[in-house]
Amino acid sequence: MIFRKIVVTAAIACLVFAFTACSDDDSSSFVEPEKESSSSEILSSSDGTSDGNGDKSSSSVSSSSTNSSSSAKSSSSTDSKSSSSNGLIPESCEEKDENRILTIYDTGERYVCKSGQYIKIESSSSSKVKKTCSADEEGTTRREDGVRFVCEDGYWVPVESSSSSKVSSSSYFDMTEQFNEKVSYGEFTDLRDGHKYRTVSMYDDSFERTYVIFAENLNYGKMVSGGTVQGDSTKYCYDDDSWYCENGWGGLYTWSNAMGFPAVCDSVSISAEACSQKFVYPSGYGQPQNYVQHQGICPDGWHIMNSGEWAHLDQRTGGSVAHYMGSKVAGFSNENLYGMSLLPAGYWNPVALEYGYISNSALYWLPQQYPEYDDCSYRVAIRTNEFNRTFRGLKTQGFSVRCVKNY
């Protein structure tokens, strides 16, 4: 009997270094609020299982030590545990493990560390983990009846981060004010999946042209779990929950996937032998890189919204992009005057291996690589009182995408 631990490998150290080198110049103003520890472990009750390295886990509890400790337990603590734990659950836990969850893989029983002891979590959803999943679903997640599960070794395993396994429907955002119904929207249907998007039109006096822009974040592709290497036609959904993708927040894409490049381009420079990609810059512009019309993951006839087009929104609003262009959802905007309905959809953080910033920041990829770092690119960052087109982001982060019709 052993612990099967979910561990973060030494590769995280490399990511931390890369993220530090690629962090924003004003990173002090872009710090995510601290979160309560959500570490969890899945335990197996199969005897003689190796830890993946061919050795027996040093964390396993021998039957003799379990029996001796069990005899010393008080009746009250014994009642809080199930005999089916088979000695896998430690008798006590440390303060640093408060709210940590342990799950017995075979039975689905779950325990949470509270006040120095692991207490069994009574949940009607525990039986759900016995449902099997297919090899194609391995590593993916889903939410059922308010509980989030991950497919591991053929079983759906709950991955909740606190002792409360249920998520109230009220925890989701009210999307009734996503759009400004006083605005006359157009409509575009993506023929790849039949998804319909509202569009807005904005006239640019400087170039005497009209931009037709998605009034929603792109939501194309199959959902994969955060941290999975994205391929063609895939996306992350915030919190690995399809509700966000399906209810206006759209998908979150790594840079290479957003640009339609191979995943290797997230770690090497474009034009490098391993990546061998390039942007086609227009002629007749003082800063052609700001006006590149690069399709990327957008539908045919559309391109990733570029820096020049974002600059037009900035000029049009006098710098108050969130106020005049943001959706009222999550208190991001007061007006949404032009109907752009920008949403603070947050992002995927590949260093902390978690999602963050939802309701705080709208983050969008630009079709520009950051010149000093091969693994970084430019992005747009929009917050309540801030708009910036010169931030750099680690290419493996997951950001939103807006599409503009070619002109």
Give φ, ψ of 308 to 5 degrees.
-65, -40
Q: What is the pLDDT along the chain (407 residues), one digit of tens a residue?
A: 444 333 334 344 444 444 445 655 443 334 333 333 333 454 544 343 333 333 333 333 334 444 444 444 444 444 443 433 556 678 788 877 777 777 665 566 777 788 888 888 764 333 344 578 887 767 666 655 556 677 777 887 776 443 333 333 446 899 999 999 999 999 999 999 999 999 999 999 888 999 999 999 999 999 999 999 999 999 999 999 999 999 999 999 999 999 999 999 999 999 899 999 999 999 878 889 999 999 999 999 999 999 999 999 999 998 899 999 999 998 888 889 999 999 999 999 999 999 999 999 999 999 999 988 999 999 999 998 889 998 899 999 999 999 999 99
d(Cα 25, Cα 268) in Å, to the nearest integer?
21
Bridge partners (DSSP) of residue 365 are 379
pLDDT value, residue 52: 36
Angstrom distance (rounded) from CA 296 to CA 280: 12
Token pair 């995510």 is found at 32
Query: CA 128, CA 309: separation in Å to the nearest integer?
Result: 48
Which secondary structure element, helix H or strand E, spans residue 243, and what is its range?
A: helix 242-246
* pTM, 2 dp: 0.64
Are the CB atoms for 259 and 265 separated by under 8 Å?
Answer: yes
Distance of CA 112 to the CA centre of its chain: 25
DSSP per-residue codes, 298-347? SPTTEEE--HHHHHHHHHHHTT-HHHHHB-SGGG--S--TTS--B----E
Task: Give the type of residue at 320.
Answer: S
